[in-house]
Amino acid sequence: MISALCNDIFERSIHDYHLTDNVDAPMNNSCNIDSIEHLLYNKNWIDTVQWHLEDIVRNPTIDPVEGLALKRRIDASNQQRTDMVEYIDSYFLAQYKDIQPKRTATINTESPAWAIDRLSILALKIYHMNVEVNRTDASAEHIIACTDKLAILVEQRKDLSTAIDELLTDIARGDKYMKVYKQMKMYNDPVLNPVLYQQQTK
């Protein structure tokens, strides 16, 4: 099942990142470059680095210049994240290109890769909530609260994993069909963001 593969790859990526726990550490993706594993590892690595960038930028004492630079780096990371989702969906489109959807086939509310994107973020939430559960410097109340949250996150991952596997099974059977819509993010585009294109006329 694809969800088990995703969860394994995401856990490996998160583990690899935390060997250095440095947002500037180089990614070491050992998966075959033409494989879905390679795409999944890249996807989660981007998410993991961005998770930590989001932590850093929220430091109330951060230098404003550094904070702005980090915000722009996060914006660029968001674009990379979106691009990776579209690459993963393109992989699935190729996988199922010969499937003829049934006349009664319906489209899902989100594509397989956007559901996998949520699974990647859940892997990060579970990792970091587990860190909180195992803190030795936190109160008993904090540990109990985080233990409860961790249980919910694990259940959520189980449910989402099942839903992803069922969606891909339905697509393979022709009961569902998928489309890939480019996200068309406007704020990064110098011809679509008015703040940017108005600068060009000054």
pLDDT along the chain (202 residues), means of 10: 96 97 94 95 98 95 95 94 94 94 94 97 98 96 97 98 97 92 68 70 64
- 14-21's contacts with Cβ under 8 Å and 24+ in sequence apart are 14/44, 14/48, 14/123, 14/124, 14/127, 16/45, 17/45, 17/48, 17/49, 18/127, 21/52
pLDDT for 175: 97
Backbone angles phi, psi at 176, to 5 degrees: -130, 155
Six token digits for residue 12: 């490996």
State the amino acid at position 88 in one-letter form.
I
Instruction: Give the C-alpha separation, 135 to 133, whole Å.
Output: 6
What residues does each domain of the chain span?
Answer: 2-189
pLDDT for the residue numbered 201:
66
pLDDT at position 202? 61
Using alpha carbons, select from 125, 47, 51, 43 the residue that is nearest to residue 89.
43
